[in-house]
Structure 1
Amino acid sequence: MPQRAAAQARPAAPLKPGTELKPAKRPVKSPRLADNSAPIAFALVKGAPDSCGPGCDSWIAAEGKIDGGAAARLRKFIKQIGDRKLPIYFNSPGGNLEQALAMGNLLREKKAVVRVGRTTLRECGFEPQEGEACTRLKQAGRELHGEVWTRGAICNSACPYIILGAPNRELAPDVTLAVHSPRVILNFTGGVPTREMRAQAMQRAMERSDKMVLDYITRLGADPTLLTVARSVPFEGMRILTREEIARFALDRRERVESPWMFEAASRGIAYKTVLNRKDGEASFRTTRLQLVCFDQDRFELDVERKAGTGATLAMVSGDLRLNFLSPPRRAGDLERWGLFLNGSQMKALASLPGAGLSDAPPNTVSPGVSTFPVGNDGLQNALKKLMESCPPSKAVVYPSGLPVPWTQSSSPQASAR
């Protein structure tokens, strides 16, 4: 994808879960798409090798508002692609509740794998991904080409009920799911109803809606508290679900969730990934974020951000490879950030491995009982390739003697990791 087009697809800033979003008095950036979002469209998309997971290069993009014909279009689309077992990535502000439940039932019937993610299409060129021209491409029904992103992707309102219906649910650590009360639209015929008549009709409609959702949740074996949380928020607001709630409500019960390495072309190219994990007996998930940047094509910095107080040292280890982070880490509140400098050879060696581990054991310590925190390298080679293409050419570091000195941790600018 051209660098400019990738920059247009830059994900939104992550939002804090567990809070209620309320409408503002003036327009502001929001995780919800505009109310005039196009009806949800389904597109077959092909990407690079392993772009949607190991061995996966094609997926179904489901993007837009859930309208009155969404379930019928999904059934027709699935029939058109035949027996291909492809993951479905949803990116939707929500919409029609009954259609969402029907779609969830269909996905359960088809034993589908569902995820949340934004698809950017190469065929759109420099056109906005949510623009009319790009929307028409998504609705054309032909195979397209693109990339899928999780950071900044949303599944709000009625959309989480679709996810809940599928038997295989995989939600990346950096997506947003949010719920609220349904909006009921009343239509009266034969005269103007009184206020009392409207109130009674509204109550009956809400009771019917609640029963419909509760029956759906119960049949799926999920926690009915999901409905309680949704009903606690007015339709005008939005309650972002925490990762603990996502697990509790059976939207994704995994105790460890790891995103692939992704490249983002912003003002400065970066590669990043996020890992969420929760050990047996723990109530909360722990977040570990990794970010890779370059100074040039032979000088890189890897940062690890996690909860403070985990250990006095940190190293990236894999087999005979051991790369020590600078100590002590930089601290901000209850978080610590560790920095590690790598040259091009070290970076390529790390990317060629299937995975590595973060170890708090001091160097040269023989401690068989010391465990490492595993970090997969899924997507790292592709992200590193794009990162290097965005970096300036490497330059030799020349000292007063006139002899170039190779990049090493001892000759790295300390301020860059602090």
Structure 2
Amino acid sequence: MSARSLGTRLKTAFLTADDGLLMRSAFFGLLAFAGAFLFVDLRELSQATAALPAHDPMTTAAPVLPPALTDGVPQAPPVAPESSPEVLRKPIVFELLPGGELKAEGSIDPGAAARFAAEIAARGEYVKTVSLNSPGGSVDDALLMSKLIRERGLDTKVAAKALCASSCPLIFAGGVSRMAEQDAVIGVHQVFSAGRDRPSAEQAMSGAQSMTARITRHLDEMGIGSGLWIHALETPPDRLYYLTPDEMAQFKLTTAPGLVARQAD
């Protein structure tokens, strides 16, 4: 059968078909199109997930200092952190400084929360403030550390030219009073699932939504404005949204500038 003959027959069939048949044909055609696009989207998401580095499930990407996305395009960070990338990439360590300040420096590796809890238990009432200098890491551990800080009634601080990025601001949010010194570098971005067992596209999406709900609920319980995590959700994991002092105050991530006296929730 020639192409012209086939075309003539299809045209005749289309013209003589009833409306119901045409509606059903259009409906199933749309379903086929939708299925094709969904398949492509899920395949691309699976490929993107497979390309991510193997870390603990539900972590944040942890380049020590990715480009900013504050104005929608990559930029340099507002201030260069004082600590070297080598120091920041190491698993987080804790050091008790004079004045009851416990310095927490390094990446939030899986198990960091347990070590932090042991440190707090050992130091007892000596610890008053947790000073953070971290590029982020395990979200689960960051949430646990934040909750323990609030339960113990401790303050949090990010010193001048210290870094608190990715999941680190979740820890910072746990402080009863929260101070970011001038030139503190604080930034947020998306979380993602990147376990050693590569999740399917559906599992990755479900895990990200579940973790986002946990983070949102936690920040609400800590008294932090919802707009903070909206910036995180809008920023890819290979970028950071660096918060300005005004934004930190607006979202109640920080209490009064230079605050010394402790505030109630």
Please tell me whether the aligned partners of residues 173 and 257 of structure 1 are also in contact (alpha carbons under 8 angstroms): no
SS at match of 2:85: coil
Q: Could you tell me which residue of structure 2 aligns to residue 223 of structure 1? A: 225
CA distance in 1, matches of 2:87, 2:175: 26
For 1:242-274, what per-residue CA distance to the aligned partner results, in whole angstroms no more than 9, with x for missing partners?
1121012211131x4499xxxxxxxxxxxxxxx
Q: Could you tell me which residue of structure 2 aligns to residue 44 of structure 1? A: 96
How many residue pairs are counted as aligned between the two chains? Answer: 190
Q: Could you tell me which residue of structure 2 aligns to residue 62 of structure 1? A: 104
Q: Could you tell me which residue of structure 2 aligns to residue 81 of structure 1? A: 123
Q: RMSD across aligned C-alpha pairs, in angstroms?
A: 3.0
User: For residues 199-278 of structure 1, what are the structure 2 equivalents within 5 Å?
Assistant: 199-254=201-256, 256-257=257-258
CA distance in 1, matches of 2:86, 2:73: 15
Q: Could you tell me which residue of structure 2 aligns to residue 154 of structure 1? A: 163
SS at match of 1:44: strand
Change (3 A) 1:173 1:30: closer
Q: Could you tell me which residue of structure 1 aligns to residue 114 of structure 2? A: 72
Q: Could you tell me which residue of structure 2 aligns to residue 91 of structure 1? A: 133
CA distance in 2, matches of 1:154, 1:103: 17
| Stretches of structure 2 lacking an aligned partner (at least 5 in a row) | 1-66, 261-265
For 1:197-250, what per-residue CA distance to the aligned partner results, in whole angstroms no more than 9, with x for missing partners?
822121111111111101111222321121111011100111100112101221
User: For residues 282-361 of structure 1, what are the structure 2 equivalents within 5 Å?
Assistant: none
* TM-score, normalised via structure 2 length: 0.64
1:186 CA drift (Å): 4.3
Change (3 A) 1:30 1:176: closer
Structure 2 counterpart of 1:225, which letter?
Answer: G
1:85 CA drift (Å): 3.8
Change (3 A) 1:210 1:258: closer
1:183 CA drift (Å): 2.8
SS at match of 2:247: helix
Which residue of 172, 179, 182 corresponds with 2:181?
Answer: 172
CA distance in 2, matches of 1:85, 1:248: 28
SS at match of 2:205: helix
Structure 1 counterpart of 2:96, which letter?
Answer: L
Q: Could you tell me which residue of structure 1 aligns to residue 200 of structure 2? A: 198
Change (3 A) 1:38 1:84: same
CA distance in 1, matches of 2:105, 2:249: 24
CA distance in 2, matches of 1:157, 1:223: 17
Please tell me whether the aligned partners of residues 114 and 163 of structure 1 are also in contact (alpha carbons under 8 angstroms): yes
SS at match of 2:97: strand
* TM-score, normalised via structure 1 length: 0.41
SS at match of 1:208: helix
1:45 CA drift (Å): 2.3
1:162 CA drift (Å): 0.5
Is residue 116 from structure 1 mapped to residue 158 from structure 2 by the alignment? yes
Q: Could you tell me which residue of structure 1 aligns to residue 26 of structure 2? A: none
